[in-house]
Amino acid sequence: MNVYDSERVSTMLINNGWNMTKEVSEASLVIINSCSVREKPLQKLFSCAGRYLPYKKKYGLKIFIMGCVAQQLGDKILEKASYIDGVFGPGAEYMIPEVAEKEIFPFISNQTDLLEREEIFPASSRGNIFGKYTSYVTVMHGCNNYCSYCIVPFVRGKEVSRKSKELLDEIKLLADNGVLEVTLLGQNVNSYKDPDSGIDFADLLYKISEETPVKRIRFITSHPKDFNIKLAETFAQISKLMPYLHLPAQSGSDNILNMMNRKYTVSEYNKKLDMCRKACPDIALSSDFIVGFPGETEDDFNQTMLLVDKTGYDVIFAFNYSQRPFTQASLYEDNISSEIKFRRLNQLLDLQKQKIKEVRNRYLNRVVKVLVESKSPKGSSFMGRSEHNLITHVYDSTEDDVGKIIDVKINKILKNTIGGKKYERN
């Protein structure tokens, strides 16, 4: 979502006559988009901002902070780093061009009411400058779920869905610009409800598939408690919908899930996976896990290991628990030592490393469709993503393949990626 927001702000500035530069010495404005979902990125923000200070002193560079930390800390950012010129919480980014042009410094906005608008970015922010062939589109922002560890409802506000008409217009514009694949974003896309027509997320997927020329659709993130049969069936019904589902479990222990206020049990989570596999047997699954949540016993952790072992995820994203302000869990004692957290995290990641070989071997000798996007970091060939969202190296690809969806026969399963050669169908 931060990538999407950064792209909106960049496009808005470009449409106001600004240019992008990769050289900080040439820049008159740098904007840092911040994340407060864990403690580490918050700490990194200040060291990142500090690196630009010499440029401010030498060239008069202006430094803005946007994103969730801007919302969380507001004017406290200036107490910590008085050289910051602007602080814009989510929803306030539309003011960036005006503040920069009129030099209204220091500027601080972290009003919560700004988060509750359907369209938080103006139409002038639409378009794709970060990627030529793939793009993100936020369908809703905010969250009402209040998982006990999560700061998002406090910094991104209540759940607000965008109108499907606006979304279709935005996606059509992207398609006109050459975008072939869109990833729909929301903290909990399952809660999507068009404020005009009341259509739900599954209906929105049908509409995007039928009414826009994009070739591929993906979405993140689904909350397991709301994932339902109607949405599962879209994987069978919509050929443009790619067979990849991110369904964050967070833990494999009912006790911890309850403490996390996730509102489902492991058995209910598994039923949702079965629902999805029934509609799309070949679906690639991914998930998020938090280890070391307050009170997590060795037995709770082993149940998480069991879930990962049994499910066979293509990808997992696992993190150590870190206490966040405002949250319910911040009232619990953070009583799992960092040694235990790291040991458990490594154990989980080691298990996933083993599982990946097993899970991804199913792609070997298969023909997959790859949207070729960019040069591989090593060698002269190109790479892109398969339907299952795996980075795929196409060893005999050329510049001509970029921007096309091509058939590739997989002959290599690598550590984080897969690879193969172009395949001609008869």
Residue 10: CB partners within 8 Å, gap ≥ 6?
Answer: 20, 129, 130
CB of 220 to ligand SF4, least distance (A): 11
Distance CA 14, CA 9 (A): 9
d(CA 260, CA 296): 11
Q: Give the torsion sign (CA, 403, 408, 411, 413).
A: positive
- Which one, 145 or 258, has the nearer CB to ligand SF4? 145
Name the strand (E) or helix (H) holding 278: helix 266-279
Separation CA 120–CA 116 (nearest Å)? 8
Place of tokens 């240019």: 19
Residue 107 or 201: the one with the smaller Cβ distance to ligand SF4 is 201
Closest separation in Å from C-beta 285 to ligand SF4: 17
- Does the bond joining 327 to the residue before it have cis omega, within 30 degrees of 0? no
Residue whose pair of structure tokens reads 């002269």 in the numeric block: 380
Q: How far is the CB of 72 from ligand SF4 (least distance, A)?
A: 14
Kindly state the DSSP code that residue 162 receives in the 8-state scheme.
P
DSSP tag of 329:
G
Choose between 147 and 372: whose C-beta lies nearer to ligand SF4.
Answer: 147
CB of 210 to ligand SF4, least distance (A): 29
Enumerate residues 6+ apart whose C-beta is below 8 A from 73.
Answer: 80, 87, 110
Token pair 């409800």 is at which residue?
193
Q: Whole-angstrom Cα distance, residue 76 to residue 379?
A: 47
CB 319 within 8 A of CB 365: no
Smaller CB separation from ligand SF4, 146 or 206: 146
Pick the closer one to ligand SF4 by CB: 97 or 142: 142
Residue 225 CB, shortest distance to ligand SF4, in Å, is 9
Which residues contact ligand SF4 (rule: CB under 6 A)?
143, 145-147, 150, 152-153, 187-188, 223
For ligand SF4, the closer of residues 153 and 419 by Cβ is 153
Check: CB of residue 410 under 8 Å from CB of residue 392: yes
Q: Nearest distance from residue 244's CB to ligand SF4, in Å?
A: 18
Tokens of 389: 């969202």
Q: What is the distance between the terminal CA atoms of the chain, rounded to a whole angstrom?
A: 41
Shortest distance, CB of residue 163 to ligand SF4, whole angstroms?
Answer: 22
Determine how many CB atoms are found less than 10 A away from the CB of residue 21.
Answer: 11
Minimum Å distance from CB 188 to ligand SF4?
Answer: 5
Minimum CB distance to ligand SF4 smaller for 225 or for 421? 225
- Choose between 164 and 221: whose C-beta lies nearer to ligand SF4: 221
Q: Which is nearer to ligand SF4, 223 or 388 (CB)?
A: 223
For the bound state, the minimum distance from the C-beta of residue 146 to ligand SF4, rounded and expressed in Å, comes to 6
Which tokens belong to 388? 């299952």
What's the burial of 130, exposed, middle or buried (CB within 10 Å: 0-12/13-18/19+)? middle
